[in-house]
Amino acid sequence: MHAQIVLFDGFDPLDVIAPYEVLYAGGTASGGAVSVELVSAEGPREVVSGTGGLVLRATGALDPGRAGLILVPGASGRVGEPGEVPGHDAGAAQWQQDEFIPVRMGRTLTTELPTLMKAAMDNPKVTVSAVCGGSLVLAMAGLLEGRHATTHHTGLDLLDATGVHAIRARIVDDGDLVTGAGVTSGLDLGLYLLEREVGPQIAHAVEELFAHERRGTVWRNQGPAPAGL
């Protein structure tokens, strides 16, 4: 399995690094059955995160035609208190000056990323994944309507408002779409993807290496719906 992890300006570093390390370790443990790279919609470049100006390098261009996994992170920056985030009628300068997370995610819509991710989601050989606000990036691009997904708990209402079946779970498996909740769920998401795509022994070996036990039940749209809880 080849994994492409997407970088965009303002990305959250932990959303990227946690699954990258898990998948890379999975490649080592599996004798090369997993490979992983950092990519961007624009191709090879230095990409500045939303956390302290930390820079990671995309070594390739996002290729929606390549079989495997594509993972989209969320953004980091200012969350903003109620009433603090600029309204829709605010001037462009105010939005640019205040580096709020929704602004950074929204800027991805002005790049080639939505077009490339639509092509990826139309490719039956690709599994799309997202960590934290990455689900919102895809939803804001109109790519998740009618799907089951999760995101950071503060964004569940927004996810639901875009026509997504927002699920309050650590990991949500919706077939060719697998999403993780808050930022640290990138570890759990990476381990689950290893188990699903490569096998439980590889996932367990990496879990042991990282001294991290996955949390929660992976939600799937299967079985009877709960009642009376």
Give dist(CA 109, CA 59) in Å, integer.
Answer: 22
Please give the single-letter amino acid code of residue 224: P
Q: What letters, b where the CB count within 10 A reaches 16 and e where it falls short, cover 145-168?
A: eebbbbbbeebbebbeebebbbbe
- Tally Cβ neighbours within 10 Å of residue 213: 10
Q: What is the pLDDT of residue 155?
A: 92
The answer to whether 10 and 104 have CB atoms below 8 angstroms apart is yes
Q: What is the pLDDT of residue 80?
A: 58
Which is it for strands 165-166 and 126-131: parallel, antiparallel or unpaired?
Answer: unpaired
Q: What is the pLDDT of residue 86?
A: 45
Which is it for strands 55-58 and 45-48: parallel, antiparallel or unpaired?
Answer: antiparallel
Task: Between 138 and 89, name the one with better pLDDT.
Answer: 138
Is the pLDDT at 134 greater than 60, yes or no? yes
Q: What is the pLDDT of residue 228?
A: 72
Q: What is the pLDDT of residue 204?
A: 97
Structural tokens at position 212:
């991290």
- φ/ψ of residue 3, rounded to 5: -115, 130
Give dist(CA 118, CA 116) in Å, integer.
Answer: 5
Is the pLDDT at 172 greater than 90, yes or no? yes
pLDDT grade, residue 202 (50/70/90)? Answer: very high
Across 13-30, average pLDDT:
98
Average pLDDT in the chain: 91
pLDDT grade, residue 226 (50/70/90)? Answer: confident
Strand, coil or helix: 105:
helix
pLDDT in tens, 67-118: 999 999 999 988 754 444 444 454 545 445 457 888 888 889 999 999 999 9
Q: Of 211, 214, 191, 210, which is closest to residue 201 (Cα–Cα)?
A: 191
Q: Is the pTM of this model over 0.85?
A: yes
Give dist(CA 171, CA 6) in Å, integer.
Answer: 19
Q: What is the pLDDT of residue 100?
A: 83
Q: What is the pLDDT of residue 85?
A: 44
